[in-house]
């Protein structure tokens, strides 16, 4: 499939890292090893709906918890790193196709 952003690249299966922030939450969440289709020309990343929903379900409660920290927090805002283990090529292809 062609990239919908640059219209030049042919999407390739791979993994990506994404960082999530939310207004009102000082927490930052970085997720590594996300199965995705990636444009080799412009770098645009495409997640399947299933993977995007699973990532949201993991990250959302963490970002919401950050809203409770408020300005009175004694500890600094944490950064949270989530790392998925590498998938075999067949598993990676299957994950992206879902």
Structure tokens at 22: 């939310």
Give the 3-state secondary structure of residue 71. Answer: coil
**Which pLDDT value is given to residue 90?**
93
DSSP class of residue 49 equals H
Give the 3-state secondary structure of residue 51. Answer: helix
Return the residue matching tokens 């409660």: 61
Dump pLDDT digits (tens) for 51-90.
999 999 999 999 998 887 766 778 888 899 999 999 999 9
Show me where the domains of the chain are located: 12-97
CB 16 within 8 A of CB 38: yes
Handedness of CA 17, 68, 58, 2 (dihedral sign): negative
Angstrom distance (rounded) from CA 76 to CA 42: 35
- The stretch 8-35 carries a mean pLDDT of 95
Cα 76 to chain centroid distance, Å, stands at 23
**Which pLDDT value is given to residue 70?**
66
């Amino acid at each position: 499939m062609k990239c919908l952003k640059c219209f030049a690249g042919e999407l390739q299966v791979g993994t990506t890292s994404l960082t999530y922030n939310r207004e009102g939450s000082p927490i930052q969440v970085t997720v590594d090893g996300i199965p995705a289709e990636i444009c080799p020309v412009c770098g645009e990343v495409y997640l399947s709906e299933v993977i995007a929903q699973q990532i949201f379900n993991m990250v959302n409660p963490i970002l919401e918890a950050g809203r409770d920290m408020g300005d009175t927090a004694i500890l600094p805002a944490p950064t949270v790193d989530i790392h998925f283990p590498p998938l075999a090529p067949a598993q990676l292809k299957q994950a992206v196709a879902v």
